[in-house]
Amino acid sequence: MTTPFLEALARHRLVAILRAADASRFAEVASVLHGAGVRLLEATLTTPGAPDAITAIRKELDAETLVGAGSVRTVSDVDIAADAGADFLITPTVSPAVLEHAAAREVPVICGALTPTEIDQAWHAGAAAVKVFPAAALGGVAYVHAVRAPMPDVPLVPTGGVYLTDVPKYLAAGAIAVAAATPLLEDALTGGSLDALAARAREFVAAASGS
């Protein structure tokens, strides 16, 4: 079933993952990413200060930009993220309790999974899409292509070691979108050049859009 969130995921095809020792630069980096065309952002809850950053980013950026919470592992995490204003959640694992509570809070989930069994379980448990993680460690594009063959109805989002040159390959293999952290952000969250970040982000956006 197509939902507004899935439509946005299929339209923009790129999720930028913000993860650092603290969230002090999240809002600034999010603004730069937005200026470069990124419209799906994930702030990981393992970063101290992430919920406040989600709220701040959500208020600053336009309604087209969706701000999600990552590393959601517990029912409490769901509430923290939803209360902060997260538009979507991303989990590292398959947790039926998390998926059930997220549904009750009406927040879509990109559920982390790896094996075909986990991917299928996540999908049937109500995930809006499934994060294939860590994708690169299990064969990258070839793995996603192989998994998608028997499960073509499951929207897959490869994550983990996704570099610029991988983006069009994953999408050609049938992924609905990709998510990138270090290959995209590099040192931007720890004082690195925001101009360099903007340039990388434009390249990633172009690769995701096929231009």
Longest dimension (CA), the chain: 44
Q: Which amino acid is at 31?
A: S
| Residue 42 annotated to the active site | yes
Residue 67 · residue 90 · CB < 8 Å: no
CB environment 68-77: b (16+ within 10 A), e (fewer): bbbbbbebeb
Check 100, 131, 169, 186 and give the catalytic one: 131
Catalytic residue list contains 169: no
Q: How far apart are CA 154 and CA 61, in angstroms?
A: 30
CB atoms within 10 A of CB 149: 10
> Catalytic one among 42, 59, 106, 169?
42
Report the catalytic residues.
Answer: 42, 131
